[in-house]
Chain A
Amino acid sequence: MEIDSYIEEEAARRGRQLAALRLWDANIWLGKPAFFPLAQELAPENMGPLLSRYGCRGALVSHWDSVHLGAQEGNQALLAAALPDNVYTVWTALPTVPQEPPPLPHIGLTDCRLRGVRLFPQTHHFELSPWVLGRLCEWCDERYLPLFLWHVEIRWSEVQALAAAYPGLAVVIETQWQKVLYNTRNLFSLLESCPNVLVESSNLVGQDHVSCLVRSFGSERLLYGSFLPANDPCAAIGLILDADISAEERTNILGANLERLIAGVRI
């Protein structure tokens, strides 16, 4: 009974902590999850209740169709989704040449909720290099739109070259859809090399990696992301809540950094 009481107290304490956070989530996905056959599909009408459940004040949402069907399919689904006011979108982009049918971020943009652009260079078969993506990077840079990249979709040297070529462009390395653990040596070197690179935290699960990253590069370089509905948001939240970092650093990571990033977008 003594242990049960402790568990209940600890659950209540963590629940209070969660309720007091100003959470902004950089990584939620609509549609049928690829790669996770047992994960539940998240529908747009469930976004509001889901965010309320975790006390989340806002989020960036993407669509799984972008991965397994194609960029335009996912973008179209995001356009069609009725989303709460505090939810913004991340569209999937392709190189500007050859010119491809819309909807793509740089062609006929009609989504005023757009706050980020993602690329899948491996899945969609193009090089992550300035000679392929230069115009798109300039387009994003002019609008202060961050560029999102899954670590499993990149070659680290290519990202370093791209981020160095566009120092004003925020490049967010996402730690999905597999854990980034086996690439953290590259990740930390990239952060040191390019001040405009940030990291999304949903699968930054290595021992004390959150604190190490904050100590080395500052809390401004890390964004909380849940990877809902595949992941339990309390995994990434717990890592940051219990990390050996200051309250201010925690606040930055769990919401303030993302709020600042998307507040700067001009479209």
Chain B
Amino acid sequence: MSPGYIVDAHVHTGYPGLFFSPEVDAASLLRRMNQFGVQYAVNLGSMRNLLESSLGEMEKAQREFEESGERIFFCGFFDPRRGAADLAVLEKSAGFRGCKGIKIHPSFNKVAADDDRYEPAWRYAAERRLPIVSHTWSASSYNPVQVLSTPDKFERFIRSFPQVRLVLAHSGGRGDGRKEAIRLARQYDNVYMDFGGDILCQGYFETMIGEGLHDRILFGSDYPWIDARTHLTRVYLADIPTPAKRRILRDNALAVYGLE
């Protein structure tokens, strides 16, 4: 039986800690993927990996990739405060077939996205032809560290490394950051975005397709932060052409992460 066709380009495994989640592991994720017709997922890391990347966490992600029948791919993590150590972990796990990119999180790591200390990760991604996916959001009154991840802060690296595909996770958030994300995607060929998280904005898909970004938008749930069911009906019932829905649900993620 076909395992589905959708690619969920934004999931996590492991205990989230910050909130109640009845499902936390790769086996639970795989059951949900089967339920919702998701063929592949891209694991952007556990809380443990965000706190301290390690070869052990990468080996665990590789095991999950293999045990899932090569359906749950994953990204390594780069914290600019541990630049050399995290690059060494990325180097050691370079042979893992499930590893398809590098995740960064400027807000979580409290280092702005335009800081020089990210340059080694961009250079590494360019050499290895890997995409970078980053948390992005709008400047926020209730969560001030989000200002470190506003889309405009990525522009210097987007320009310097045109060969590196950058995924702006959460599309720059629910405020003005989304406007910046759209500008960057329109201006640069290497900029993509997912709508993982509670990016539930009315007219999101119609706006993005209207801006000509049909080949830049990736379906991502942010499991287990967010239930994939939050987004599926929205995509299916969006007032956009069917081929655009296919690109959003599948083709764009396959291309960005090189999954096939």
Q: Which of A1-45 contact B (CB under 8 A)?
A: 3-4, 6-8, 10-11, 14-15, 18, 35-40
Contact present for A4 and B243 (CB under 8 Å): yes
Chain A residues near B142 (CB-CB < 8 A): 152, 178
Q: Which of A212-267 contact B (CB under 8 A)?
A: 212, 227-239, 241-243
Measured CB to CB, the closest approach of chain B to A94, in angstroms, equals 23
Contact present for A7 and B200 (CB under 8 Å): no
Chain B residues near A113 (CB-CB < 8 A): none
Q: In whole angstroms, how far apart are the Cα atoms of A207 and B227 in the complex?
A: 4
Contact present for A238 and B232 (CB under 8 Å): yes
Contact present for A4 and B233 (CB under 8 Å): no
Give A193-207 as 1s and 0s: 1 = Cβ < 8 Å from B's Cβ atoms.
Answer: 000000000110111
Q: In whole angstroms, how far apart are the Cα atoms of A40 and B204 in the complex?
A: 12
Q: Which of B230-260 contact A (CB under 8 A)?
A: 230-234, 236-237, 242-243, 245-246, 249-250
Q: In whole angstroms, how far apart are the Cα atoms of A98 and B21 in the complex?
A: 43
Q: Which of B200-242 contact A (CB under 8 A)?
A: 200-204, 223-227, 229-234, 236-237, 242
Chain B residues near A241 (CB-CB < 8 A): 229, 233
Chain A residues near B242 (CB-CB < 8 A): 4, 7-8, 11
Measured CB to CB, the closest approach of chain A to B69, in angstroms, equals 20
Nearest A residue to B138 by beta-carbon distance? A37
Contact of B22 among A4, A35, A179, A207 (CB under 8 A): A207
Residue B198, interface by CB 8 Å: yes
Contact present for B246 and A188 (CB under 8 Å): no
- A14-B233 contact, Cβ under 8 Å, with A184-B20, A207-B21: yes
Residue B18, interface by CB 8 Å: yes
Measured CB to CB, the closest approach of chain A to B253, in angstroms, equals 13
Contact present for A239 and B229 (CB under 8 Å): yes
Residue B174, interface by CB 8 Å: yes
Residue A208, interface by CB 8 Å: yes
Residue B179, interface by CB 8 Å: yes
Measured CB to CB, the closest approach of chain B to A51, in angstroms, equals 14
Residue A125, interface by CB 8 Å: no
Known A182-B18, A185-B20, A207-B224; 17 more pairs at CB < 8 Å: A3-B250, A7-B236, A10-B236, A37-B175, A203-B200, A205-B198, A205-B226, A206-B224, A207-B23, A207-B226, A209-B20, A233-B202, A235-B234, A236-B230, A239-B229, A242-B232, A242-B233
Subset of 26 A-B contacts with CB under 8 Å: A3-B246, A6-B5, A7-B236, A7-B246, A14-B237, A35-B174, A36-B175, A38-B176, A39-B201, A181-B226, A184-B19, A185-B20, A205-B230, A206-B225, A207-B21, A207-B23, A207-B227, A208-B23, A209-B20, A209-B227, A212-B22, A230-B200, A232-B202, A232-B204, A241-B229, A242-B36
Closest 7 CB pairs of A and B: A238-B233, A207-B224, A242-B229, A235-B200, A11-B236, A234-B234, A231-B200
